[in-house]
Structure 1
Amino acid sequence: MSSSPPDPVHARAELRAFNRTVTERIGVLEDQYLDRGRSLALDRLLWEIGTDGAEVRDLRTGLGLDSGYLSRMLRALEHEGLIVTVASGDDSRVRRAEITDAGRAEIDILDRLSDDLADAILEPLTPSQREELLSAAATTRKLLTASAIEISPTDPDEPAAREAITQYYAVLAERFELGFDPATTRPAPADALRPPAGRFLIATLKGTVVGCVGVKIHPDGVGEIKRLWVAPETRGMGLGRRLLTAIEDAARDAGSTVVRLDTNRTLTEAIRLYRSAGYVEIPAFNDEPYAHHWFEKHLAS
């Protein structure tokens, strides 16, 4: 039996208390993080640039920063002589942040001080408490990452959608016993996955595509779910179920009361997901050459 959802008031209070405890314990509230004369935000940016450097647009996307704010932060690090910003390759419009020798030395100091801070947090705890804290930290990091994933509708011909489908095909080619050839599977062209004929959703994490799913709405109103894919780095975060629920909602909004799908026997995780989500196995409803199982679910109004 599934547990009841947490009380919203209690949940918000617990998260606020968690935020207060963590920010105080790791020194976020201090003007100079780790006594290095900079805020945590600037040190984090320096870490993200790293010894290999990074393109400014990637830093902006990865850290979720406003362009103007990021520019001011980069100038502050440049003023300290820790980085330089240069043109990336032959395109002068693309800027890149590169670490200096002073910046490399500063990163080494920050790494050492961060290790000292971690030791100071763990040292007073018993061995069992340390294990509990580390396990809780790993779980918290995973769940906070999961909560940052956004699911949104997109046109199947958009670059992000095409990238997702390409990665989906690559997974099938790796997993299927005899490989996978997109030319031999039943077609799901872009026109069939965009309104009014269908819907296509992508999941993104900090601007990177990490999942997708689509649905074809047949003339009889049945929705056929296609192209459910979750990137390896986000597996175990419940994204597959979120995508499945989101595409069911999209099918329902388009007038479907029943959704169906087919899958290959090697995709055991997907089969478990479908069954746990209320899908029932039915006889084959199409001639998909790669399918071994066919499922159906009646959608609640």
Structure 2
Amino acid sequence: MDDRCLGQDRPLGEARLLFEIAETAERGPGVPLRDLRTRLGLDAGYLSRMVRSLQAQGMVRLGTHPDDSRMRTVGPTGAGRAEAAEQNRRADVLVSGLLEGLAPDQRRRVSDAMATAQRLLRLAAVTVVPVDARTPDARACLDAYAADLDARFPEGFDPADLVGPAEVSGDAGAFFLAYEEGRPVGCGALRRTEPGVGEIKHVWVHSGARRLGLARRLLDALETEAAARGLAVVRLDTHPALTEARAMYERAGYTEIPAYSDHVYAGHWFEKRLPGA
């Protein structure tokens, strides 16, 4: 944490920035500066000063995005890649030194505990909020959800089956989005089907945000909204191909029931009574 991060002649802020630039550049021609600013939570002026400093030292080069000449990008030079590689090597040595006094099973326990902390802290930083289902973010999530189902269902999926905005707005229902670092990464919908009964639809999480527990958070938000609206029961259905969805619903207290609708994509129907509704 001092001005010589990992024993190199570089303060922590610049070292972290160089690490991010080098790691991301492995997947493309350059990193958009605005993406770095969002990811690291940096002030635009502070980021610009650090980039100029690294550029003056020959660690990075500035450029423009190949698809948008107005977007500035930054990528590592050969010297920058070499320093980032040395940074990784020194970090590995440091961690190895910390763990060498532990037995193999103890090292695994440390690693598992850190992975759990990382997953839960990432989940905690995600916000789940009600939105208008007509917004571009909501439609983008529903389009991605439909594309996922079309790829997984043997019979494909018709986007016409998606709920319309009017079905999940106002007194009729609600639509929720999950945001991570300003990007929509999940959605879910609630609609009233009859007095005291609601139906949960389209619980979906982006592939890059799965295995965090986000689907369960979305489900909890929809149940809380249903209870606040005075609904005593929520129902949902799912396709036989979505085995992980069925397992999640059962863990969340849903009971499988006879078919309550003739939904063409449904193979299993579930119900849950809401306490205190």
Shift of residue 58 of structure 1? 1.4
Q: Which residue of 1 aligns with 2:145?
A: 168
Q: How does 1:7-46 map to 2 (within 5 A)?
A: 28=1, 30-46=2-18
Give distance in 2, aligned partners of 1:38 and 1:268: 50
Q: How does 1:202-221 map to 2 (within 5 A)?
A: 202-218=177-193, 220-221=195-196
Q: Which residue of 2 aligns with 1:21?
A: none
Q: Secondary structure at the match of 1:275?
A: helix
Q: Which residue of 2 aligns with 1:268?
A: 243
Give distance in 2, aligned partners of 1:138 and 1:294: 34
Task: Output the amino acid matched with 1:146.
Answer: L
Q: Which residue of 2 aligns with 1:138?
A: 115
Q: Find 1:119's aligned residue among 64, 84, 96.
A: 96
Give distance in 1, aligned partners of 2:4 and 2:144: 43
Structure 2 residues without counterparts, runs of 5 or longer: none
Q: Deviations over 1:99-131 (max 9, x none)?
A: 223322222221222222222222233333322
Shift of residue 290 of structure 1? 0.8
Structure 1 residues without counterparts, runs of 5 or longer: 1-27
CA RMSD for the aligned pairs? 2.3
Q: Deviations over 1:257-277 (max 9, x none)?
A: 322211112212211222222
Q: How does 1:21-170 map to 2 (within 5 A)?
A: 28=1, 30-50=2-22, 51=25, 52-89=29-66, 91-170=68-147
Give distance in 2, aligned partners of 1:141 and 1:203: 18
Residues 98 and 254 of structure 1: CA distance in aligned 2, closer, same or farther (over 3 Å): same
Q: How does 1:185-204 map to 2 (within 5 A)?
A: 185=161, 187-204=162-179
Q: How does 1:218-257 map to 2 (within 5 A)?
A: 218=193, 220-257=195-232
Q: Secondary structure at the match of 1:61?
A: helix
Contact 1:64–1:206 under 8 Å retained in 2: no
Give distance in 2, aligned partners of 1:194 and 1:75: 48
Give distance in 2, aligned partners of 1:248 and 1:144: 23
Q: Which residue of 2 aligns with 1:182?
A: 159
Task: Output the amino acid matched with 2:187.
Answer: C
Shift of residue 210 of structure 1? 2.4
Give distance in 2, aligned partners of 1:48 and 1:163: 28
Task: Output the amino acid matched with 2:14.
Answer: L
Identical columns (%): 45
| Aligned residue-pair number | 271
Shift of residue 297 of structure 1? 1.9
Give distance in 1, aligned partners of 2:6 and 2:236: 54
Shift of residue 75 of structure 1? 2.9
Give distance in 1, aligned partners of 2:42 and 2:5: 19
Q: Deviations over 1:139-191 (max 9, x none)?
A: 222222222222122222323222221221122223223222223x3x51122
Q: Secondary structure at the match of 1:153?
A: strand
Give distance in 2, aligned partners of 1:257 and 1:272: 23
